[in-house]
Amino acid sequence: MMDKAGIKKIKADGVGRFDLTATSVPKESVGLPLNENLVAYAATDHGKPMDITLELPQDTLHIKTSDFKMSVDSSTSYVSVVTWFEAVEGWPALEEAVAAANERYGFTAGKLVAWESKNFMKDDKKGSQSLGMGVKNGTAMYLNVYWKKGSPTQVLQFDALIAPGYYTPEVQAEIIEFGRAPIGFRDNGE
């Protein structure tokens, strides 16, 4: 559960498991209120990550993170987004993490070329770069990379977009082709 008691237990035990196999996860199934905009957030010290298992419609993810959250919107009855962060040490580890994410989630060629060129890093000492969305593992996944030149730690932000609208064939096809949901997209599947 991602209510206060559930978050406290996850932090104390260092483990959590969430069944997100339905393409619409009811808020009450994870202990979140129906009529609120809310981000339920579990965080630990940087050196003490939690082991989180996410059962997704076509995949199971085992992640280690010190930051994990679920986002809900007051206008819907389901969980919209599950987010976690992965810290890596150094550029080689960052490159490996992005390659592994691409292997699992399948980002578009255009986004990968932009990442590989690193033109976005030319004049800045820190920033972020989106690799957009992929659906190779059946789940709409979004990746944003936060980088800082000279820092030993770089951070990847993963968003599993689990609202029902991401699971129509038309939306999945658009994500595969363009690395994003369709223009004017509504995540309720309408």
pLDDT tens across 33-77, in order? Answer: 888 888 999 998 767 899 999 998 888 999 999 999 999 888 888
Nearest Cα to 47, choosing from 145, 153, 158, 156? 153
Cβ 145 vs Cβ 160: under 8 Å: no
pTM above 0.95, yes or no: no
pLDDT over 60 at 117, yes or no: yes
How many Cβ atoms are within 10 Å of 173's Cβ, its own excluded? 12
Q: What percent of the chain has pLDDT over 70?
A: 98
Average pLDDT value for residue range 175-182: 93
C-alpha 179: how far from its chain's center? 14
pLDDT over 80 at 124, yes or no: no
Q: Is the Cα dihedral 118, 120, 124, 125 positive or negative?
A: negative
Alpha-carbon span 145 to 12, nearest angstrom: 28
- The full set of domain ranges for the chain reads 1-190
Alpha-carbon span 130 to 171, nearest angstrom: 19
pLDDT over 70 at 190, yes or no: no
